[in-house]
Amino acid sequence: MGAAEDRCGLLIIRAWIEVGAERELRARITKTTDVSRRDEVSKVVATHDDVMMTVDGWLATFVDGHVTER
């Protein structure tokens, strides 16, 4: 990879349990496919499947070379 192609993405998952809630799992996911652009997006999800779909979508977008993914 040359300097013009180097990119760095970021995906942070903060997960916690809310005891007694209908869906106890909560996760705040903060993501960007290019940290140099400072265009992070955050969202909160409440299921394992939603966490995994978000991670999978972010990684596919990052690998495909898109600059931002919402």
Per-residue pLDDT of the chain (70 residues; tens, 9 = 90+): 455 568 899 999 999 999 999 999 999 999 999 998 888 999 999 999 999 999 999 999 999 886 555 4
Identify which of 32, 29, 59 has the alpha carbon closest to the alpha carbon of residue 44: 29
Q: Is the pTM of this model over 0.75?
A: yes
Strand intervals (E) in 1-70: 10-17, 25-32, 41-45
d(CA 23, CA 7): 36
Strand order in the sheet with 25-32: 10-17, 25-32, 41-45
